[in-house]
Chain A
């Protein structure tokens, strides 16, 4: 027999379904392979992600206990297991489920504001050069050098502020703006929706409709980005985002710093872009409530 190795699966997201009648059987089409994540199709319009521990849990993530996934060349899936490169079996059955709901005990707005201030400090210091953090700290515009980069920064600034001013149509102009697989504009929108969700949990105001509207306006043909935004619109969060949000209520700068650092490690600029969107929208909501939307 050919020898197979079992890879430990740390967690499977609560939106990942195995064994249902719509489950995919057979080899899956791989969308993209990165060091820390492999995205693959289970249906034409649905994506699952195999991720490393450093990325952590998420609604559609399967966290494998390895430090790099760049070796993945093929993915086979049936109702009980995933097999990589025909030789590594991911042990789904004994894994834990990741719960992507957000549950905030505290309703203390002042505590949250204080947490946001600390969050902003860290973001100013630690965000990568070409991230959207320049929206929080204008001096960071210095990092944008070529004419194209400058135009990009200008548009990100313009459209994100339009959305923040209640002009929801600009969502579709922000979406897709920027470099990479999840452009800066998409991540900012993701951050916006997370802020709306947190506000809902804190105040009881319903932001679900606005989030759905933002998602509908932002839909495109980038399946990875759309998946992220879809879950955010439903109020389902990725582990690192969730950790950050919860840390803001703990009144402990060291914990916040640790959580922000982890989030900033996502993708190349994604973590910082999500953070920027979250911070801007949260500040807006703390000042003016939800009525302007």
Chain B
């Protein structure tokens, strides 16, 4: 499967009469997008805002972050099974609006988390502070059920991103990159001496505010399976996850998965990137056992020499992580796991809720309990109502001057377990 990604650099977003992309500027007709969002009866009110890296702006509570993309050639459309028809994506040509994102924000439930600061110390912890963001803030109709509104807000974000992506269909990209996955046979023949490496991508799948969808299917109802990495780039996996801001994978993370990016970079040079195994993180323990058995079985079936396993979320997914790791190791396949830590504010506590001696190669996204003070911002997009309720915050975390003392787990993407962060320690 071969996909050509055409990156179109978006330097700026402006409101205008006509929605279009010209010379690296995205012009957006606000009324047009709001009208599309309000087609859903469950959404009472919506408006757009634009944020620029470096300005004094705080967005909260953030639900999802999505990168607008569009299929230019090849089968299928963006977000298959959700926005586009369910055809298999991942081949042909796709245009990407690089340097920008659609951010959905606003109240879903009364304890929501997720902060993006566009400047100050908090900005260093989230990759989304570096983007030009089109923020879609929504308000639900009174009295609707949380499940229904979560779905409406999720779809509104994807619809907006797909609409903006369409504007890039006939634009010549600034840079083109080609990604190709070989069949099992071709890989053996072409790279007989390179180690065969796979990627086990764990998806959070537990219920309201904790779900992920693959081609539109709620992934908690699925068995562990294979997917081409280029399908993921084309929006085959989308996030319905609203909790655990620091270590949930937004749709943007899936579209730009750095593990996949790096494995492609090394493909054919130091390793043979064979493919991606997606597996879920369910509440029922027998599901965890079955899904991790299948991860190990598929890794063996693909004759892998090594596997990278990335987690999503905290707590019970630690058990899935360790099950995946130990079962794959017991097949004689080396593993490296990517997780994050809840080691207490002093960093001295046990980091994970599960462990095993076979998990001897670990990459961490950081300690989510680390305390940070976020200075006041001149402009707030969304609402500060939940800051005292969100994970890592506590009563008094929102100070009178508008600054926030909280753990870094309140920041969207701060300890991402795909390794999608830029801070590191030596």
Partners in one complex: no
